[in-house]
C-alpha cells in the first residue's frame, strides 16, 4: 500500500515537473509559472474527480443489487474483505473491464456488455476479481490520476499555441519554433512512458491477487485469452478517442496501429496467461 502511495506521489511530482519544463520552453518564466499552476490544479482535480470523469466519458450506467452482475461483484468483494464498490456497465461490444476510485471506500468496477456476452460466469468472476484486486492494492487512484493528467499532457499543443514559443527580456524567442513543435510531440510520449512504467507490473500483481480472490486462476487465464481475441477485432471508440484511458482496462482496448503499439501499457497476454496457468497447476 505504501508503495502505491509513493508511486502516486512520484507521478504527481513528475507531472508537475513535466508541465514546468514544457511551460518554460514554450513561454519562458511566465509560461513555467502558469504551467506549474495548471499542473497543481490538475493534480487536485484528478485526485477528487478523475473517477467520475472517466465513468462519464464512457457513459457508464450504474446497476443495483437486482442485477446478477452486482451480486457476483458483491460475493467477490466479500471474499476480498473489501467494502462494496459501485457497479457499472458500459454498453459497448468490445469485451473489457476496469476499476476506478481514489480508495476502496470510493471505488467502482465497470464491465462492458460485450464482456458479459462472450464470457462464462466463471470467467467473468475471474475478471471482476482482477478488478477488485486493483481496488485492494489501491491501484485505482494512480491509474485514474495518470489517465486524467496524461490526457491533459496530450493536448499540450494548444498550450504551445497560446505562448507561441515565448520571448525573453530582449524580445528574442526562447526557443526555435521547431523545438517548440518537437516539445508538443514529445510531451505526450513522455506521458505515455510514465504510464508504462507504472502499469505493466501492476497487471501481473492484479492477476495474481485476483486469482486468489476468485480461487480460480484458470478461469482468469481463459477469460484473458478470449478478451484478447475479441478486443482487437471490435473497436472501442471512446478508448480510441482517449487513449490515455487504455491502461485502466484489463486488456489493451486500442487497435494497436501506429506509434501506440510501441507504448503499450499492458504486458503480453501470453505471459499473463502462462503465469496464471502455472498458479493453477
Active site residues: 131
Q: How far apart are CA 172 and CA 127, in angstroms?
A: 57
Tell me the residue length of the chain: 281
How is residue 115 written as a grid cell?
464482456
The strand pair at 61-63 and 86-90 is best described as antiparallel
Residues in contact with 64: Cβ distance below 8 Å, sequence separation at least 6, in sequence order = 70
The single residue listed with the C-alpha cell 505493466 is 200
CA 26 to chain centre: 28
Among candidates 215, 172, 206, which has minimal Cα distance to 76?
215
For residue 36, count CB atoms less than 10 angstroms from its CB and return exposed for 0-12, middle for 13-18, buried for 19 or more: middle
What CA–CA distances, in Å, run from 188 to 69, 145, 181, 217, 279? 37, 15, 12, 36, 37
Yes or no: say if 9 and 18 are a contact pair by the CB < 8 Å rule. no
Amino acid at each position: 500500500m505504501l508503495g502505491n502511495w509513493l508511486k502516486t506521489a512520484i507521478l504527481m511530482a513528475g507531472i508537475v515537473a513535466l508541465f514546468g519544463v514544457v511551460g518554460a520552453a514554450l513561454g519562458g518564466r511566465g509560461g513555467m509559472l502558469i504551467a506549474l499552476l495548471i499542473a497543481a490544479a490538475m493534480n487536485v482535480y484528478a485526485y477528487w474527480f478523475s473517477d467520475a470523469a472517466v465513468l462519464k466519458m464512457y457513459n457508464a450506467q450504474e446497476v443495483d443489487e437486482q442485477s446478477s452482475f452486482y451480486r457476483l461483484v458483491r460475493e467477490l468483494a466479500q471474499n476480498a474483505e473489501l467494502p462494496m464498490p459501485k457497479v457499472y456497465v458500459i454498453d459497448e461490444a468490445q469485451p473489457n473491464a476496469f476499476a476506478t476510485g481514489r480508495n476502496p471506500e470510493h471505488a467502482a468496477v465497470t464491465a462492458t456488455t460485450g464482456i458479459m456476452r462472450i464470457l462464462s460466469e466463471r470467467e467473468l468472476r475471474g475478471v471482476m476479481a482482477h478488478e477488485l484486486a486493483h481496488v485492494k492494492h489501491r491501484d485505482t487512484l494512480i491509474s485514474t490520476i495518470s489517465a486524467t493528467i496524461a490526457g491533459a499532457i496530450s493536448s499540450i499543443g494548444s498550450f504551445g499555441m497560446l505562448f507561441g514559443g515565448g520571448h525573453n527580456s530582449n524580445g528574442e524567442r526562447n526557443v526555435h519554433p521547431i523545438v517548440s513543435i518537437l516539445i508538443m510531440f514529445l510531451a505526450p510520449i513522455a506521458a505515455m512512458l510514465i504510464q508504462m512504467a507504472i502499469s505493466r507490473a501492476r497487471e501481473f500483481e492484479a492477476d495474481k491477487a485476483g486469482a486468489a480472490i476468485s480461487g480460480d486462476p484458470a478461469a482468469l487465464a481463459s477469460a484473458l485469452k478470449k478478451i484478447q481475441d475479441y478486443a482487437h477485432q471490435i473497436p472501442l471508440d471512446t478508448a480510441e478517442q482517449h487513449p490515455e484511458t487504455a491502461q485502466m482496462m484489463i486488456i489493451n482496448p486500442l487497435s494497436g496501429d501506429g506509434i501506440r503499439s510501441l507504448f503499450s501499457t499492458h504486458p503480453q497476454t501470453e505471459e499473463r496467461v502462462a503465469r496464471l496457468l502455472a498458479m493453477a497447476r
